Amino acid sequence: MQESLILKYTITTPKLILKPLSSLDISKLFKMSLESGIKDWMPDQVYQNEDEAKKAIEDLNSFLIQEINPSQGPIVLGVYLHNNRLIGHVGLSPVQEGVEIGYAIEDSEQKKGYATEAVEFFTKWGLQKYSLHFILGIVDSNNINSCKVLEKCGYIFGETKKDQKIYKKV
């Protein structure tokens, strides 16, 4: 991956580094996709093998290379600890109503504030970089922990549609 791409899309927070996924992350991304949290809440991100995880990374990074707006395609970064260990991902993706934030942290690293920190910093970055008027958070009504993350990051609950809670951050 081009060094300039990494520099352009790197966000450093007190506990984390948000940056493009790389080929070094294929095995870890595949393993994380098989965890219960991903299977339960993001089943479209469960990969059958490492080749599928590799293809996902390549596809996601192609959107970064094209420098598209998240209203046109996903902008997804890996969530890394400062020791460069991948623990999840965070992204902005187009939905009918605008742009949605999505995030996942591996099961063993949950309840440590990492999702909250990643969502908080990525939301601020996305609103500013892409001049977005708002970002939505759309979660399964039963995913209480994800609802708490959005609320801690200042997302306001709006409504429930089809078993999904819809939050908004302006």
Q: What is the CATH number for 106?
A: 3.40.630.30
Instruction: Over range 82-90, report the average pLDDT.
Output: 98
Q: Is residue 140 part of a domain?
A: no
Q: What's the number of domains the chain is made of?
A: 1
**Residue 114 pLDDT:** 99
Answer with the residue of higher pLDDT: 6 or 27.
Answer: 27
Band of residue 37 on the pLDDT scale cut at 50, 70, 90: confident
Q: Is residue 165 part of a domain?
A: no
Instruction: For residue 70, give its domain range.
Output: 3-123
**Residue 5 pLDDT:** 66
Is residue 50 classed as helix, strand or coil in its secondary structure? helix
Instruction: Over range 141-154, report the average pLDDT.
Output: 97
Q: Is residue 102 part of a domain?
A: yes
95 vs 160: CA distance, rounded Å: 16
Give whole-number Cα distances, 33 to 5, 29, 67, 72, 151, in Å: 25, 6, 26, 25, 25
Instruction: Over range 117-131, report the average pLDDT.
Output: 97
Q: Is residue 143 part of a domain?
A: no
Band of residue 1 on the pLDDT scale cut at 50, 70, 90: low
Instruction: Over range 101-114, report the average pLDDT.
Output: 97
Q: Is residue 145 part of a domain?
A: no
Q: Is residue 47 part of a domain?
A: yes
Which among 158, 150, 144, 140 has a CA at the least distance from the CA of 119?
Answer: 150
Answer with the residue of higher pLDDT: 141 or 39.
Answer: 141
Query: 3-state DSSP: the chain helix, strand, coil percent, rounded to 5?
Result: 40, 30, 30
Query: In this model, does residue 3 exceed pLDDT 70?
Result: no
**Residue 36 pLDDT:** 87
Query: In this model, does residue 156 exceed pLDDT 60?
Result: yes
Q: Is residue 83 part of a domain?
A: yes
Position of tokens 């939301």? 123
- Across 2-153, the runs of DSSP E, i.e. the strands, are 11-12, 16-19, 75-81, 86-95, 98-105, 135-140
Q: Is residue 51 part of a domain?
A: yes
**Residue 88 pLDDT:** 98
Query: In this model, does residue 30 exceed pLDDT 70?
Result: yes
